[in-house]
């Protein structure tokens, strides 16, 4: 059987954070109930369509999936198990936010097979959490984390956010050191991006332009401070025994996120829920982003877009996704995917980047140097066909 990863989108939040441009919003009880029913119908439809596939990972994201009532989450997972062939050792992740979780929810999560948590902390400093518009405090996060351990969760990711307004590299590293005391299995570190359509865009858009241009900023860290934060983060986590395996992700050995690695290796994935995307047999689909449409049309009519990925686009994706990973990829993987040696397509680009000391080719593997990881956007631009 071919493998398939499953992403389940829960778009509901208690309150949308001021920096967030994800498809998420607050919703009443009836809307959530109707959404879960529609989600179950979509899962049943695709379970029949892809009955020849085995599910290796499941990721429940949002929004804030942990805000959903535990009865609804149980119903969703029971539908998955009924209609799909889920591997016994499947990695099953749910995103959780402090302030939305209870002891009983963790009990239910364990019972329905969820074995990995991704907890959105972002900062240990309450003043920074307030700036971001988060609904929780650091103390609430600690309570959530303790509950998770109490209920037997042994694979936990903690999300942190750097480059916040007024934040210095030293302030961010204080967050990092306090998180390390908790010994999570996985840490994700993302830089704040000022996205259009968010309250942060109205507040900081001109500062973001200054930052990108290497100019002096008013509230956001400068480009040089961003770089210092990145290098300090890599050093601190390496010293603490975490494997830097992708641009923004660090894990203790054996705890790398299998679901995300699947994305970077272009494993087929099915996305269900409002606005969810899928990549199956080199066709990319996107569900409608309109809630009324999602709740009212049949499951086979949810796609808003569907596009065949050309061979050149597949090669480009192979390169820029594969090079996000610290260990890169093996030359043979390219040959197996496309039937030709990688040098036949990208020989000049590989040699050029190797001469610039941005890329290495050793023992059949192609990967970026530290300098190449720092200049990742420049590197991947060399592989556009």
Question: Which of 264, 290, 319 finishes a domain?
Answer: 264
pLDDT surpassing 90 at residue 1: no
Residues 80 and 208 in one domain: yes
Residue-wise pLDDT tens digits, 140-161: 999 999 999 999 999 999 999 9
- Domain tally, the chain: 2
In a domain, 350, yes or no: yes
Decide: 353 and 343 in contact? Cβ < 8 Å.
no
Distance CA 96, CA 280 (A): 28
Confidence of residue 275 (pLDDT cuts 50, 70, 90): very high
189-203, 249-263, 290-304: which range is least confident on average? 189-203
Decide: 350 and 329 in contact? Cβ < 8 Å.
no
189-203, 259-273, 316-330: which range is least confident on average? 189-203
In a domain, 304, yes or no: no
Residue 200: predicted pLDDT:
86
In a domain, 296, yes or no: no
Per-residue pLDDT, averaged over 46-55, amounts to 96
Q: Judging by DSSP bridges, how do beta strands 359-362 and 365-368 pair with one another? A: antiparallel
Beta partners for 269? 5, 279
Residues 94 and 200 in one domain: yes
In a domain, 108, yes or no: yes
In a domain, 272, yes or no: no
**The dihedral of CA 371, 373, 377, 381: what is its sign?**
positive
Task: Identify the helix (H) or strand (E) that includes residue 59.
Answer: strand 53-62
Residue-wise pLDDT tens digits, 112-133: 999 999 999 999 999 999 999 9
Residue 22: predicted pLDDT:
85
Distance CA 168, CA 123 (A): 13
User: What 8-state DSSP symbol labels residue 23?
Assistant: S
Residues 130 and 225 in one domain: yes
In a domain, 276, yes or no: no
pLDDT surpassing 90 at residue 94: yes
Spatial CA neighbour of 255 closest among 267, 245, 269: 245
Confidence of residue 318 (pLDDT cuts 50, 70, 90): very high
Residues 315 and 200 in one domain: no
Question: Which of 231, 264, 297 finishes a domain?
Answer: 264
Residues 238 and 342 in one domain: no
CATH number of 350's domain:
1.10.10.10
pLDDT surpassing 90 at residue 6: yes
Residues 260 and 317 in one domain: no
Q: What are the structure tokens assigned to 115, written together?
A: 């074995």
In degrees, rounded to 5, the angle at the alpha carbon of residue 176 between the alpha carbons of residues 173 and 182 is: 155
Question: Which of 203, 238, 264 finishes a domain?
Answer: 264
Residues 260 and 315 in one domain: no
Helices (H) and strands (E) in the chain, counts: 15, 15
Domain that holds residue 372: 311-381
Cβ-Cβ contacts under 8 Å for 110 (sequence gap 6 or more): 151, 152, 153
CATH number of 71's domain:
3.20.20.70
Residues 114 and 178 in one domain: yes
Residues 255 and 316 in one domain: no
Q: Look-up: residue for tokens 């593997």?
A: 365
Residues 229 and 353 in one domain: no
Distance CA 216, CA 139 (A): 34
Residues 51 and 137 in one domain: yes
In a domain, 186, yes or no: yes
3-state SS class at 311 = helix
Residues 235 and 323 in one domain: no
Residue 211: predicted pLDDT:
84
């Amino acid at each position: 059987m071919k493998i398939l990863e499953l992403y389940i989108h829960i778009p509901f939040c208690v309150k949308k954070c001021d920096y967030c441009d994800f498809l998420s919003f607050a919703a009443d009880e009836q809307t959530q109930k109707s959404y879960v029913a529609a989600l179950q119908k979509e899962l049943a439809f695709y379970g029949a369509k892809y009955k020849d596939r085995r599910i290796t990972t499941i990721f429940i994201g949002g929004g804030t999936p942990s805000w959903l009532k535990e009865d609804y989450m149980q119903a969703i997972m029971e539908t998955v198990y009924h209609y799909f062939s889920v591997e016994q050792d499947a990695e099953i992740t749910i995103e959780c936010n402090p302030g939305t979780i209870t002891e009983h929810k963790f009990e239910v999560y364990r019972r329905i097979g969820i074995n990995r948590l991704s907890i959105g902390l972002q900062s240990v400093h309450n003043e920074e959490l307030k700036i971001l518009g988060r609904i929780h405090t650091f103390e609430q996060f600690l309570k959530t984390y303790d509950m998770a351990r109490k209920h037997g969760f042994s694979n936990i990711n903690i999300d942190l956010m750097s480059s916040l307004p007024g934040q210095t590299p030293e302030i961010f590293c204080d967050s990092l050191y306090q998180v390390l005391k908790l010994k999570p299995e996985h840490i994700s570190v993302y830089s704040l991006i000022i996205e259009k359509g968010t309250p942060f865009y109205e507040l900081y858009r001109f500062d973001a332009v200054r930052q990108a241009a290497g100019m002096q900023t008013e509230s956001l860290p400068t480009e040089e401070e961003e770089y210092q934060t990145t290098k300090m983060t890599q050093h601190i986590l390496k010293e603490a025994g975490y494997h830097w395996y992708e641009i923004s992700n660090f894990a203790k050995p054996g705890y790398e996120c299998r679901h995300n690695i699947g994305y970077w290796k272009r494993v087929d994935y099915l996305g269900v829920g409002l606005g969810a995307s899928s990549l199956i047999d080199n066709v990319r689909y996107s569900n409608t982003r309109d809630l009324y449409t999602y709740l009212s049309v049949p499951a086979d009519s949810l796609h808003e877009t569907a596009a065949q990925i050309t061979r050149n686009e597949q090669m480009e994706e192979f390169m820029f996704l594969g090079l996000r990973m610290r260990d890169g990829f093996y030359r043979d993987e390219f040959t197996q995917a496309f039937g030709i040696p990688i040098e036949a397509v990208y020989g000049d680009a590989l040699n050029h980047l190797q001469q610039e000391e941005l890329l290495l080719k050793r023992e059949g593997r192609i990967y970026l140097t530290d300098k190449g990881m720092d200049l990742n956007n420049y590197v991947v631009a060399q592989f556009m066909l």
